[in-house]
Amino acid sequence: MTILASIPIIALIAFMLSGRISAITAYAATFMIAAVIAQTAFSMTMAETLTATLEGVLSALWPICLLIFSSLLLFNLTIGEKEKEQLKDLLLDKESKEEEASVLLIALGISSILETLIGFGISLVIPLSFMISTGYDKIRSARAVLIAVSIPTSFGSLGMPQANLSTATGIAINEITGLSLLYELPLILLLPYSVLVAYNGRITIRREFLPKLVLFSGLYAAAYEAGGFLAGPILPPIAGGLAISIAIILSKPQKEHKKQHSFRFILPVITALTMLCLPIFIPPLRRILQMARISTPIYSGPDPKVLRFYLLDTPGILILSGTLIGAFINKIPIADMLSASKKTIKENWKTFLSMCLVFSISALMGYSGMTERIADGIISLTGRLFPIMSTSIGVLGSFITGSNSSSNMLFGPIQATAATNIGVSAALLSTFNAIGASIGKIISPQNMILSSSVCNEITFSSLKKAMPIFAAMLIIATISCCIAVYL
């Protein structure tokens, strides 16, 4: 049964690596395979299959697809050719040859801040859109941002993954947070270097930039760790992102601008980010916004999840409202707004459909028992060697669900149970599930789709230069887990 349960994952990986079929075809074929196996080998009824699929579709549309649409509409409304030139003049350091600093500022600094405040993929979409809009190479930028938004996701969305892991396992959140900060430290120290390796496609760094890289890496890691130990799981990425951003800005040589630019076009970006941050910094406002919600089970089988659709307190709506406010202030015609909306949908309908298919596959595998069967098979196969696979299980969870939080909810209890059965710390293995889930974001189909929504050239093969970084991170985390357990 474990082999049968693994077939959809094996098929998806094979389809994506082959490069012979499109991503959307790979997801559609995998969905059909998962549906057939769920009904024939795992006794799902047709009604259960359909309602699990519907749950996946609705979960993808709200809030993920809405978030993608709102983010891309923001850039379609604000970034034209004239604006790109202004941003290039402001951000690209061609004269000083310090392109590395700008890459770290946008790919790592901004994404870390957005990951803390929002999560939900916005920390990938906005920095990647910004890099491409300012003239950076699409594929290289996608590699850099994918690496940048990996490890910080363990503390994304104001610490939601840590809170979910604590809820799923019954382990105190402070214990999980402390262990995460301790065992993520090597990966965090190497993250700025990893981002530049992914962007450049080589392991060497320009000698003149090495001292600054060491400084930026140290500041990022120090602020990340201090933020976590002082304020808990809500602060690490934003503390690290602010530290490295400020350091890079202060270190940049002042450029003499021959002509004055008007950056009024950025106003919708400012209003959109303001709308995103208001509920975070004004808790009473968030409570009011959260009153507008729909809570309902969709799945018709046993133990259905209760889906909560927040109609106002969701990143997509907040970004959309801020974008429209800024657009009206800038006196952008309504006809142009409608045209930009149609363009966004027309250019990205495959992205939206792909996201629906990925979430449906996840729902089918979860409700049918395939996901749990895979984990149980790994546990029975490895026995006391299970910790060697602990991090990889987190990667698998992130690959299947596209979410660190979902991976923690899905596999966290299994990790804790396995740890108890073999006599090791449940908190330790649960923590490495979260670390593995962060590393798995690099190869997550959801992140591939998000990247493709910004630049449609993204495939697994085009990102092959990021795969050694993924492998190195996984090896480092696995070795750390084994040292913690066996020594």
Report d(CA 377, CA 6) in Å as an integer.
10
Cβ neighbours of residue 116 closer than 8 Å, sequence gap 6 or more: 152, 155, 156, 157, 158, 234, 235, 236, 237, 238, 241
Beta bridge partners of 4: none
Per-residue pLDDT of the chain (487 residues; tens, 9 = 90+): 789 998 988 888 788 767 677 778 888 999 999 999 999 999 999 999 999 999 989 988 987 788 778 877 887 787 665 665 666 665 555 454 578 998 999 999 989 988 877 666 778 888 888 888 777 888 899 999 999 999 999 988 767 788 778 877 888 888 999 999 999 999 999 999 999 999 999 999 999 999 999 999 999 999 999 999 987 887 899 899 999 999 998 887 665 554 555 567 778 878 987 887 788 789 899 999 999 999 999 999 999 989 889 999 888 899 899 999 999 998 889 998 999 899 889 888 887 898 788 889 888 988 998 877 887 887 788 888 889 999 999 998 888 777 787 788 767 877 887 888 888 899 999 999 999 999 999 988 878 888 877 776 666 666 788 899 999 999 999 999 999 998 7
**CA torsion 314→317→320→326, rounded to 10°?**
-80
Please state at what angle helix 156-169 crosses helix 404-422, rounded to 10 degrees: 30
Beta bridge partners of 308: 295
Cβ-count burial 5-43 (b if 16+ within 10 Å, e if not): bbbbbebbbebbeeeeeebbebbbbbbebbbebbbebbe
| Residue of 397, 430, 434, 360 whose CA lies nearest to 160 | 434
- The per-residue pLDDT for 264 is 72
Report d(CA 105, CA 103) in Å as an integer.
5
Report d(CA 341, CA 327) in Å as an integer.
13
> Which bin fits 302, alpha (ψ -120 to 50), beta or left (φ > 0)?
beta
Q: What is the SS3 string spanning 363-386? A: HHHHHHCHHHHHHHHHHHHHHHHH
Report d(CA 22, CA 348) in Å as an integer.
14
Calculate the alpha carbon distances from 294 to 59, 304, 309, 348 in Å.
Answer: 13, 16, 5, 27
Q: Is 309 helix (H, G, I), strand (E, B) or coil?
A: strand
Q: How many CA atoms lie within 13 A of 194 on its CB side?
A: 24
Report d(CA 141, CA 148) in Å as an integer.
10
For 99, list phi and psi in degrees, rounded to 5.
-60, -30
Count of Cβ atoms closer than 10 Å to residue 360 Cβ: 25
Beta bridge partners of 294: 309
Angle, CA of 441, 445 and 447, to the nearest 5° = 55
- The per-residue pLDDT for 368 is 93
DSSP state of 105: I
Alpha carbon 28 to its chain centroid, in Å, reads: 22
Contact present, 301 and 38 (Cβ < 8 Å): no
For the chain, the 3-state helix, strand and coil shares in percent, each to the nearest 5, are 80, 0, 20
Report d(CA 324, CA 327) in Å as an integer.
5
For 113, the token pair is 């801040």
Q: Is 45 helix (H, G, I), strand (E, B) or coil?
A: coil
Contact present, 433 and 411 (Cβ < 8 Å): yes
Place of tokens 């891309």: 72
**CA torsion 84→87→92→94, rounded to 10°?**
70
| Residue of 484, 465, 451, 412 whose CA lies nearest to 121 | 451
| Residue of 291, 308, 292, 290 whose CA lies nearest to 55 | 308
Q: How many CA atoms lie within 13 A of 373 on its CB side?
A: 20
